[in-house]
Amino acid sequence: MAAAERPAIDPADAFVMEAPALADWLIVMPLVIGFIFAALCLMTRKDTRRQPAIAITGLVLILLCVVGLFVHVLVNGTVVMAMGRWLPPFGIAFVADMLGATLALISGIVGLATGIYALREADNTERRYGFYPFLLMMLSGVICAFLTGDIFNLYVWFEVLLLGSFGLLILGSRRDQLDGATKYAFLNLVATTLFLIAVAYVYGLFGTLNMADIARKAAVMDEVGPRLTIAALFFFAFAMKAAAFPLNFWLPASYHTPRLAVGAIFAGLLTKVGVYALLRILLTIFPADRDDLAVAIAVVAAASMLLGAIGALAQTDMRRVLGYLVISGIGIMLAGLALGSATGLSGTAFYTAHSMVVMTALYLLVGIVGAAAGTFDLHRAGGLYATAPWLAVVALVLAFSVSGLPPFSGLWPKIFLVKASIDVGAWWLAAAILVSGFLTTIAIVRLFAFAFWRPAHPDMRSLSLAEVPVARLGLPVLAGLCGLTVIAGLYPEPFIQVSDRIAFELMNPAGYIDAVYAPMPAAAEGAVQ
């Protein structure tokens, strides 16, 4: 019989034989919890009173998991879990290194913060049509994107978060929302499609989809040509996802249209997934190609940070100001990728975390400001210094933080990046970082001067915070986020230690690769021979 001629099957050649440690399960828990609670929210979608409680429970559990995962990675190093026990590179592996775990942690924080804020913002119609399922699915997608070690699987999570965000974007069906959502969806689909094409190329070139495996094979590849072009295609796709200039069209077209809680979670998470993917692809997987693309990345970075800040200056709608600041921040994150040095990457890691928290907080702030002032129009808002002094404190903290002024969290990563630029003689990049900080200061302080200092417009009445429903939960949430930026500004040491470790891991992808192959020493040589 044919069966007799087959080679003997040893499961140890195909499976991870040891059960994963209990703590390792944390790596998949955000996905499990996210999907279960999204399903629960969907089942209770008409019970608009109980559904939010379920959603918040889910968000809290996700946060607990990512906190646990972060601590686990911090203490024990990179965590790997093979899905279906298939040995890497044959199945899908989830890998949490310091970068992934940190971004997952902050996503958990941002998700819970916006979820709580939305309790008072999303109305019953929006709840009934999936606000919380969208939110939970999107958050799971984002966190899994940070944790997957498989490039096609990354594409799947991009789809999950794209669709989830699309749902959040159109909830409400107002004309401007649909206009924004159309541009958002089409341009993002282009980016996602290019990403998919690049994945197909990678499979064609390397015959594998596991990131560690690709990295291993790419490192020993002789022909530079197709690999460099593929890396460039990835760069294009993810730069578009990250809304880096000149591929940022979709962001200013859409981010100001949905609820502020939605804008907040978008600003906090979505573009950062693009940045994460760039770091992963160009540092862990194709480090040699990053060197070749460095100058182009630096140009994109400088252009994004400057044009983002300039764009913010031109806006009179507070929400649009923030949209452009997101783009400016992306430029700053890319600066570290362009530099590729330990200081630069540490700055990028720190800045990414900082930006996620602060941009989320700024959107929530503008939500309260808009509700209290009765408008998002900078020409008409005013008078909040008198009616909402604590909100003014929050606004000042966030304004200076996003501008990179001390003593808040934006300062240190910018110092790192300026120093790293000067270290390699890229004075123009250092200048771009400083000038963009300068322009950002003008844009955001102008917003503060108008909305807070200036007396209210004669036909507007600014409400006190007690009269603004979103402020009741919004202010404590904002206070928490502000607390983070203040602590990271005053005592940055632990944050810098984590950032330094992220930078080290990114610059030494061997650690990542070894962690993935750790459970199967035999497989490292290619088990099937």
Partner 1 sequence: MDLTFLAFFAPFIAAAFAPVLVRLLGHNAAWVLALVPALIFVHFAGFLPQVAEGGRVTGGVQWIPSFNVNFSWLIDGLSLTFALLISGIGTLIVLYAGGYMKGHPQQGRFLCFILMFMAAMQGLVLSDSFFMFFVFWELTSITSFLLIGFNHNAERSRRAAMQALVVTGGGGLILLAGLIFLWNMTGVSEFSLLLGTGDLVRESPFYLAALILVLGGAFTKSAQFPLHFWLPNAMEAPTPVSAYLHSATMVKAGVYLLMRLNPVLGDTIAWETILPLFGGATLLVGTFLAVRQTDLKLMLAYTTVASLGLLVMLTGFGTEKAIEGAVLYLVAHSLFKGALFMVAGNVDHEAGTRDVTKLGGLLAAMPITFGAAILSAFSMAGLPPFVGFLAKEEIYYGIAASDPWSVFITTVAIVGNALMLVIGFAVAVKPFLGPKVETPKSAHEAPLLMYAGPVLLAALSLAAALWSGLFHQFISSPMASAVAGAPLEITISIIPKPGIALTLSIVTIAIGAILYFGLARLRAAMAASLEAIGWGPDQGFDQFMRGLVRLSVVLTRTLQNGRMEFYMTATFVLLALWLFRTMFVAGEWPAVPAFPVLSIYEWVTVSIIAIGLIAVVRAKNRLTAIVSLGIQGFAVAILFMLMGAPDLSFTQFMVETLTVVILALAMTRLRLSPQDHRSAGQTVLDGTIAIACGVALTFILLQILQTPFDRTLTEFFNLYSYSLAQGRNIVNVILVDFRGVDTFGEIGVVMVAGLAILALLRIVPKRSLGSAPAPRVPAPEPVAVGKE
Of residues 3-22, those binding partner 1 (CB under 8 A): 6-7, 9, 11, 14-15
Q: Which of 92, 99, 212, 283 binds partner 1 (CB under 8 A)?
A: 92
Cβ distance to partner 1 smaller for residue 106 or 432: 432
Q: Which of 60, 67, 299, 446 binds partner 1 (CB under 8 A)?
A: 446
User: What are the residues whose beta carbons fall under 8 Å from the beta carbon of 319, sequence distance 6 or more?
Assistant: 255, 256, 260, 263, 363, 366, 370, 376
218 within 8 A of 286, measured Cβ to Cβ: yes
449 binds partner 1 per the rule CB under 8 A? yes
Return d(Cα 236, Cα 300) in angstroms, integer. 11
Cβ distance to partner 1 smaller for residue 333 or 470: 470
Q: Which of 60, 67, 233, 518 binds partner 1 (CB under 8 A)?
A: 233
260 binds partner 1 per the rule CB under 8 A? yes
Q: Which of 17, 21, 422, 522 binds partner 1 (CB under 8 A)?
A: 422
Return d(Cα 434, Cα 427) in angstroms, integer. 11
What is the helix, strand, coil percentage profile of the chain, to 5? 75, 5, 20
CB of 159 to partner 1, least distance (A): 5
DSSP codes joined into one string, 172-234: T--HHHHHHHHHHHHHHHHHHHHHHHHHHHHHHHHS--BHHHHHHHHHT----HHHHHHHHHH
Return d(Cα 275, Cα 107) in angstroms, integer. 14
CB of 160 to partner 1, least distance (A): 5
Site residues for partner 1, 329-358, by CB under 8 A, read none
Q: Which of 207, 291, 466, 476 binds partner 1 (CB under 8 A)?
A: 207
Return d(Cα 458, Cα 468) in angstroms, integer. 20
201's tokens:
């190329």
Give the per-residue contact string, 278-297, with partner 1 (x = CB under 8 A; - = no).
--------------xx----
Helices (H), 207-317: 211-219, 225-241, 250-254, 260-265, 271-279, 287-314
325 binds partner 1 per the rule CB under 8 A? no
Cβ distance to partner 1 smaller for residue 71 or 178: 178
271 binds partner 1 per the rule CB under 8 A? no
Classify residue 340 by burial, with Cβ atoms within 10 Å: 0-12, 13-18, 19+: buried
Q: Which of 37, 117, 134, 517 binds partner 1 (CB under 8 A)?
A: 134
Cβ distance to partner 1 smaller for residue 53 or 438: 438
Cβ distance to partner 1 smaller for residue 63 or 187: 187
User: What are the residues whose beta carbons fall under 8 Å from the beta carbon of 110, sequence distance 6 or more?
Assistant: 264, 265, 268, 269, 356, 357, 360
486 binds partner 1 per the rule CB under 8 A? no
The number of C-alpha atoms within 13 Å of 286 and in the hemisphere containing its C-beta is 25
What does the DSSP 8-state code read for residue 244?
-
Question: For tokens 């109980």, what's the residue?
Answer: 50
395 binds partner 1 per the rule CB under 8 A? no
129 binds partner 1 per the rule CB under 8 A? yes
For 82, 158, 362, 454, the CA distances from 138, given in Å and listed in that order, are 23, 9, 20, 38
180 binds partner 1 per the rule CB under 8 A? yes
137 binds partner 1 per the rule CB under 8 A? yes
Q: Which of 21, 53, 314, 466 binds partner 1 (CB under 8 A)?
A: 314
458 binds partner 1 per the rule CB under 8 A? no
Closest by CA to 278, choosing from 290, 269, 291, 266, is 290
Our CA angle for 418, 422, 425, nearest 5°, is 145
Q: Among the candidate windows 51-59, 61-69, 101-109, 186-194, which touches partner 1 by CB under 8 A?
A: 186-194
Q: Among the candidate windows 63-71, 167-175, 276-284, 508-516, which touches partner 1 by CB under 8 A?
A: 167-175
The number of C-alpha atoms within 13 Å of 126 and in the hemisphere containing its C-beta is 23
Closest by CA to 258, choosing from 165, 389, 145, 132, is 165
Cβ distance to partner 1 smaller for residue 217 or 272: 217
125 binds partner 1 per the rule CB under 8 A? yes
How does strand 79-82 pair with strand 93-96? antiparallel
Q: Which of 74, 83, 479, 524 binds partner 1 (CB under 8 A)?
A: 83
Site residues for partner 1, 43-82, by CB under 8 A, read none
Give the per-residue contact string, 100-119, with partner 1 (x = CB under 8 A; - = no).
--------------------
Q: Among the candidate windows 52-60, 70-78, 150-158, 508-516, which touches partner 1 by CB under 8 A?
A: 150-158
Q: Among the candidate windows 54-62, 64-72, 353-361, 448-456, which touches partner 1 by CB under 8 A?
A: 448-456
CB of 164 to partner 1, least distance (A): 5
What residues form DSSP beta bridges with 148? 94
184 binds partner 1 per the rule CB under 8 A? no
DSSP codes joined into one string, 449-506: IIIIISPPPTT--PPPGGG-HHHHHHHHHHHHHHHHHHHHHH--HHHHHHHHHHHHHH
Q: Which of 60, 74, 454, 504 binds partner 1 (CB under 8 A)?
A: 454
Cβ distance to partner 1 smaller for residue 83 or 487: 83
457 binds partner 1 per the rule CB under 8 A? no
Cis peptide before 407 (omega within 30 of 0): yes
CB of 31 to partner 1, least distance (A): 8
Site residues for partner 1, 491-520, by CB under 8 A, read 491-493, 496-497, 500
Return d(Cα 273, Cα 238) in angstroms, integer. 9
Cβ distance to partner 1 smaller for residue 27 or 101: 27
